[in-house]
Chains A and B, each alone.
Chain A
Amino acid sequence: MNTALISLEIAVLLLALGVLLLDLWLPAENKRKLGYVAALGALGILVASFIWLPVNATFNLPLQAAGQAAVNVPVYLTLPTLGDNIVLDLPALFFKRFFLLAAVIVLLMSAEFASRIQSGISEFYSLTLIALAGMMFAASAKDFAMLFVSVELITITFYILTSFQRNRVASLEAGVKYLILGGLASAMMVYGIALVYGTSGTMNFTELNGKALALADKPIFLVGLLLVICGLAFKIAAFPLQIWAPDVYQGSPAPATAFLAVGSKAAGLILLMRVLFSALPLEFVVRWKGLLMAMSAITILYGSLCAIPQRNLKRLLGYSSIANGGYLLLGLAALSESGKVAVLYYLSGYLFTVLAAFTVIAVVLRATDIEDISGLAGLNQRSPLLAGAMTLAMVSLAGIPPLAGFFGKFLLLKAAIDQGSTYYWLIAVALVGVVISLYYYFGVIRAIYWSKEPADVSPLFVSLPLKVSLGACIAGMLYLGIYPAAALNLVTVVVRDWK
């Protein structure tokens, strides 16, 4: 059995179990520090992925063990013993590393946030790692069974993570809402998968790709696919299943929200991309162009318009996350290579931006417990680093040069304009969304710098690991915005290797 393909996932699961085991021997006051161990472990796996699974178009390592001639083995490798359902192409690797990086930052954040979680902090770390494993499986999913299993692995762990602050009603409420809507989405998805399997006779994306055009007129097949897309839209927080995001974002513990905003959204996106670009031929997907465009437009407008009156910071970011899901869908709707490149680039910038914002929120919340935007008042006096990071994050989300968000939005717009006049209305909607978003992102900046009288100006303590992770986020935002050439080339290579 070729376990090399899932070696990263196995390592992550072992790490999760290791954290649980270590918990048994550690005295209570030191359990918080397990978060650093978990983060270091995830970082180690991330580094290892570069050493043992080198990124280039013709990497050959996994099959060398099987005694084949060493070179030029295609990147696309299947794992027969697992039922031909795992793919390890460059996009899969890209997303796995993306999730690992996100998890490292989220774990560091959790270790800081631990004081606000009453009990079972080790389980929190462990569950974060298990969700991470689910996301990494999702990146490799090659058939509907794998898709469903990985989505469930992510969703079920998040049911627990969102309601982890058991003493807070809001957190429990978030968990219940996520459970009900998540269950609904899973039901829709599994029903859709059943319909697709029933009509096409296959679960495998590659086989389905060959059969889809012949089935294009069968309503049951189309309904099945539609249901699958709906289920994935739930993960991306896109229309029609976006309604949960603000409530859950608001109620969940900040690190869980951060991982939900970055990891879970990206996992939904890679799966949607697999369904659209691997499981279905392009001639088939072109017919659904209008559907994708409508989903994108409604998601952008819903997120942007509803964000305007929000005063709760996490809720605001929930709506912002919906709007950003819409922009990502806009890149998918372009149905072109440059669209996929833009999506991956945008997502990379989004990772640094959102994690920086949530890290700041986690620190501020630990100190004050005020989730209102006004809780940020006077932040520039309490901690210039936090104020700077939050400002950069908001400016980047608003899409202003020279930060990552600007170049990402630029690529998305370029990809859409390139597709010709049918996309012009969608571009107009996106521009409306961007202008509205300036209003609420600047509202946050305004709260930091020019609120009337800051209630509390005591300095905020930021620990060294957090300084490092905030520094990494800021560096990432600036790097992707100021020197995009290298990252853009990398992303282009990744997209060209699409299987």
Chain B
Amino acid sequence: MLTSIILLPFLAALVILFTPRNYRVVFRGVALLATLGSLLVATKMFLGYEAAEAGVGGYKFIEKAAWVPSLGINYFVGVDGINVGLIFMGAIVAFAAACVSWEIKTNEKLYYLLLMVMTGGILGAFASLDLFFFYAFHEFALIPTFIMIGLWGRGENKNYATFNITLYLSAGALIALVGLIGLYLQVPAAQRTFDIVALTDYFRANPMAANVQHFIFPLLMFGFGILVSLWPFHTWAPLGYGAAPTATAMLHAGVLKKFGLYGLIRIALPLMPEGAKDWLNVLALLCLGNILYCGWVAMRQRDLNQLIGNSSVAHMGFVFLGIASLNLIGVTGAVVVMIAHGLLAALTFALSGYIRTQTNTLNMDEMGGLLRKLPFIGAALVMAMMAGCGLPGFANFVGELSVMFGAWKASFGHAKWFVVAAAWGGLVIGAIYMLRAVRSVLHGELSDKWNSVEDAVLWRKTPFVLLLAALLAFGFWPRLLTDKIKPSAEAIVKMATSGKAVALESVKR
């Protein structure tokens, strides 16, 4: 089941590769079909998760095949409560991204080829339970990102943005790779494996030496942190998203960026509790940089994409805060924010992309009164902005609230002040820039030059409706997510806080 989710986009990429370059309809059709197929299978998996039979380590829908036996590398995919929601979210965003790609008019063959490779890599990274594939799929998705920004990117900063994002993200990924190899080598030669389940079992029985943990944990924390735009390594994000084509920004900001957070929760926390104890304080401090500093920067932006990019970096602070709180409600909240923000980021970038195709600018000073010309897109933008500042009813509210509850109870110093700061940053600063953006884009005088602007026709509304529906569904019925996340998060938190042998009952329950 998981394999088919990953394989469909890759197969689509192959089909596109061998289609002559003037069959434009075929490229788009194949891409839409493949992502829709992935989405349908992912939906089935998400809905059938509770009923499915748990396999090794409490994971479900497991598929495994040996790849390089001599090094202990397997193709091994499976889901638990944490990544099942992420894969589902990724499939939704992928389909939406394929939908909004109608704006691409040049060299479509290469574009859809790269889009499909990126989609497959993203879904594969979140499904992998093998460290090697986990890393390789992510890297595999990154390269199309760079090329897409370079080729179909926008703005005069395009080249600078391409190289900036390439170097930042590659450096982050390589630092994390060293950490992961270091982790792998902690196991005695005879038992070495990249299998995450086996590694977790091994380190549960034989915890790693504390000094090694102190060394490897920061490698993973900063390596993954760079990938998630942890302050002060976040500068690539607004720049890159500002230049990226819509679908790329949606897929990267929405899904691929969550890879680092997922790696922290899945690998760094449970396997290195001692390292976590020391370094999570640092993480808690840095995440305030995300929430406060990037919020302030977002307030100053006059370009809609820059604003969304900075606000997306600011939202990552909540996930880091949830991880740093290291308790059940905090980690659960962090995962909910990851999913909610994935949908939200995709939605906002899709909206800004739509507005850009209509107005050819994203400068908010030039806009105004667009709600009259764009009733549907404008309404969707208002809803997205409201979701972004944490209005109840949207999934973001659930996640951010849980994170703050978690942080309130957390053990790091002055935790309560962190919550105050986060609430202020997320809710007050967020509300200011979001509402100001709504005012300057949608309200006020309508300039004559926007007379030709047209609202989305019926079928072009599909991606927006889909993303909004998912945000609202998870906002009104958060138990759809939290019931799945909780048992898995509990096992991880237990391992991360005790550092000693923890029974696996909580997962098998």
- A residues sitting closer than 8 Å to B (CB atoms) are 380, 395, 400-402, 406, 410, 413-414, 417-418, 427, 431, 434-435, 438-439, 442, 445-446, 449-450, 483-485, 488-489, 492
Cβ–Cβ < 8 Å partners of B67 in chain A: 483, 485
Whether B147 and A445, one on each chain, are in contact in the complex, defined by CB atoms closer than 8 angstroms, is: yes
Tell me which of B174-182, B297-305, B342-350, B402-410 binds A: B174-182
* CB-defined contacts of B70 to chain A, threshold 8 Å: 485, 488-489, 492
Q: Evaluate contact between A413 and B69: CB separation under 8 angstroms.
A: no
Shortest Cβ distance from A436 into B: residue: B167
* Top 6 A-B residue pairs of the complex, sorted by shortest distance between their CB atoms: A401-B136, A485-B68, A435-B171, A431-B174, A417-B181, A401-B139
Among A401, A402, A427, A488, point to the contact of B68 (Cβ < 8 A): A488
Other 4 A-B pairs with CB < 8 A, given A431-B175, A439-B167: A402-B140, A410-B132, A414-B181, A450-B150
Whether B68 and A484, one on each chain, are in contact in the complex, defined by CB atoms closer than 8 angstroms, is yes
CB of B128 within 8 A of chain A?
Answer: no
Are A406 and B178 in touch, CB under 8 angstroms? no
Q: Which residues of B contact A402 (CB under 8 A)?
A: 136, 140
**A7 CB to closest chain B CB, in angstroms?**
32
In the complex, B143 has a CB within 8 A of chain A: yes
B233 on the interface (CB 8 Å rule)? no
Which residues of chain B (58-83) have a CB below 8 Å from chain A? 66-71
The answer to whether A438 touches B181, judged by C-beta atoms less than 8 angstroms apart, is no
Q: How far is the CA of A438 from the CA of B150 in the complex (A)?
A: 14
Binary interface profile of B, 166-207, with partner A (CB < 8 Å = 1, else 0)? 110011001101100110110000000000000000000000
Contact yes or no, B178 A418, CB < 8 A: no
A residues within 8 A CB of B171? 431, 435
Nearest CB of B to A409, in Å: 9
Cβ A418 vs Cβ B140 within 8 A: no
* Across-interface contacts of B259 in A (CB, < 8 A): none
**Contact A442-B68, Cβ < 8 Å, known A434-B174, A435-B174:** no
Cα A96 to Cα B69 with chains together (Å)? 28
CB distance from A230 to the nearest CB of B (A): 31
Residues of B whose CB lies within 8 Å of any CB of A are 66-71, 110, 132, 136, 139-140, 143, 146-147, 150-151, 159, 162-163, 166-167, 170-171, 174-175, 177-178, 181-182, 184-185
Residues of chain B within 8 A (CB-CB) of A427 are 178
- Give every chain B residue within 8 A of A410 (Cβ-Cβ): 132, 177, 181
Q: Tell me if A450 and B151 are in contact (CB < 8 A).
A: yes
Contacting residues, chain A, for B184 (C-beta < 8 A): 414
In the assembled complex, the Cα of A488 lies from the Cα of B151 at a distance in Å of 36
CB atoms of B150 and A446 under 8 A apart: yes
Chain A positions within 8 Å of B170 at CB level: 434-435, 438
Bound-state Cα–Cα, A417 to B70, Å: 18
Q: Given A439, A449, A492, which contacts B147 in the complex, CB threshold below 8 Å?
A: A449
Whether A417 lies near B185 (C-beta < 8 A) is yes
The listed residue with most A CB atoms (<10 A of its CB), out of B163, B166, B170, is B170
Contacts of B147 in A (CB 8 A): 445, 449
- Cα distance A401–B142 in the bound complex, in angstroms: 10
Whole-angstrom distance between the Cβ of A345 and the nearest chain B Cβ: 11
Q: Known contacts being A438-B170, A442-B163, is A400 close to B143, with CB within 8 Å? A: yes
- Can you spell out 5 A-B residue pairs with CB atoms less than 8 angstroms apart? A380-B110, A410-B181, A445-B147, A446-B162, A489-B70
CB-nearest residue of chain A relative to B152? A450
Q: What's the least CB distance linking A232 to chain B, in Å?
A: 29
Q: Which of B66, B136, B185 is close to A418, meaning CB atoms less than 8 Å apart?
A: B185
Task: Kindly provide the distance from the CB of B151 to the nearest chain A CB, expressed in whole angstroms.
Answer: 5
Compute how far the CA of A259 lies from the CA of B360 in the bound complex, rounded to whole angstroms: 52
Q: How far is the CB of A296 from chain B (nearest CB, A)?
A: 16
B140 partner residues in chain A, CB cutoff 8 A: 400-402
In the bound assembly, the distance between CA atoms of A406 and B71 in angstroms comes to 15
Q: Which of A380, A400, A434, A484 has the most CB of B within 10 A?
A: A400
Contacts of A400 in B (CB 8 A): 139-140, 143
Residue contact A406 to B136, C-beta cutoff 8 Å: yes
Taken together as a complex, chains A and B put the C-alpha atoms of A488 and B72 apart, in Å, by 12
A438 and B167 contact, Cβ closer than 8 Å, known pairs A417-B178, A485-B69, A485-B70: yes
Q: Which residues of B contact A435 (CB under 8 A)?
A: 167, 170-171, 174
What CA separation (Å) do A435 and B171 show in the bound complex? 6
A309 to chain B, nearest CB (A): 14
Which residues on the A side are within 8 Å of B162 (C-beta)? 446
B181-A413 in contact (CB<8A):
yes
Residue of B nearest to A380 (CB): B110
A156 and B199 alpha carbons, distance in the complex (Å): 54
Smallest CB separation, B489 vs chain A (Å): 30
Beta-carbon contact of A413 and B151 below 8 Å? no
Residues of B within 8 A of A442 (CB): 146, 163, 166
User: Using Cβ atoms and an 8 Å threshold, which residues of chain A touch B166?
Assistant: 438-439, 442
A418-B185, A435-B170, A450-B151 are contacts. A413–B68 as well, Cβ < 8 Å? Answer: no
Contact check, B71 vs A413: say whether CB atoms are below 8 A apart: no
| Complex contacts, A438 vs chain B, CB 8 Å | 166-167, 170
Q: Give the distance in Å from the alpha carbon of A487 to the alpha carbon of B176 in the complex.
A: 26
Residues on B with C-beta less than 8 A from A431 are 171, 174-175, 178
Query: What's the Cα separation between A401 and B170 when bound, in Å?
Result: 12
Name B143's closest neighbour in chain A (CB-CB). A400
Q: How far is the CB of B313 from chain A (nearest CB, A)?
A: 22
B177 and A413 within 8 A (CB): yes
State how many angstroms separate the Cβ of A79 from the closest Cβ of chain B: 34
Tell me the complex Cα distance, A154–B146, Å.
Answer: 42
Q: How far is the CB of B397 from chain A (nearest CB, A)?
A: 38
Shortest distance between the CB of A371 and any CB in chain B (Å): 23
Q: Is the CB of B181 within 8 A of A449?
A: no
A427 nearest in chain B by CB position = B178
Q: How near does chain B come to A201, taking the closest CB pair, in angstroms?
A: 40
B162 CB, min distance to chain A CBs, angstroms: 8
A281 to B333: give the CA distance in the assembly, Å.
Answer: 58
**Closest beta carbon of chain A to B120's beta carbon, Å:** 11
Shortest CB distance A419–B (Å): 10
- Given A414-B181, A414-B185, A485-B70, A449 and B167 contact (CB-CB distance below 8 Å): no
- State in angstroms the CA–CA spacing of A435 and B165 once bound together: 12
Enumerate chain A residues within 8 angstroms of B159, measured Cβ to Cβ. Answer: 446
CA distance A492 to B69 in the complex (A): 13
Alpha-carbon separation in the docked complex, A449 to B178 (Å): 32
B151, B175, B178: residue with the most chain A Cβ atoms closer than 10 Å: B178
Give the docked Cα–Cα distance between A449 and B166 (Å): 16
Q: Are B68 and A395 in contact (CB under 8 A)?
A: no
B101 to chain A, nearest CB (A): 18
Select one of B143, B167, B182 contacting A417, CB under 8 A.
B182
**Please, how many angstroms separate the alpha-carbon atoms of A406 and B69 in the complex?**
18
In the complex, which residues of chain A have a beta carbon less than 8 angstroms from the beta carbon of B132? 410
Name the residue on A nearest B212 (C-beta): A421
Min CB distance, A412 to chain B, in Å? 11
Residues of chain A within 8 A (CB-CB) of B167 are 435, 438-439
Q: Within the complex, what minimum Cβ distance (angstroms) separates A54 from chain B?
A: 22
Least Cβ–Cβ distance between B27 and chain A, in angstroms: 15
Find chain B residues with CB under 8 A from A489 CB: 70
Q: Give A96 to B27 CA distance when docked, in angstroms.
A: 46
Chain A min CB distance to B170 (Å)? 5
A8 to B325, CA, bound (A): 67
B68, B163, B175 pick with most chain A CB within 10 angstroms: B68
Q: How far is the CA of A483 from the CA of B69 in the complex (A)?
A: 11
Q: How far is the CA of A488 from the CA of B66 in the complex (A)?
A: 14
- Shortest beta-carbon distance from B184 to chain A in Å: 8
Contacts A442-B146, A445-B147, A485-B69 given; indicate if A413 touches B178 (C-beta within 8 A).
Answer: yes
CA of A14 to CA of B66 in the docked complex: distance in angstroms?
Answer: 46
In the assembly, what is the distance between CA of A392 and CA of B172, in Å?
23
How many Å lie between the Cα of A37 and that of B203 in the bound state? Answer: 60
**Residues of A contacting B68 with CB < 8 Å?**
484-485, 488
**Chain A residue nearest in CB terms to B21:** A384
User: Which partner residue on chain B sits nearest A489 by CB separation?
Assistant: B70
CB distance from B110 to the nearest CB of A (A): 8
Complex formed: what's the CA distance from A450 to B151 in Å?
A: 6
A427 to B177, CA, bound (A): 11
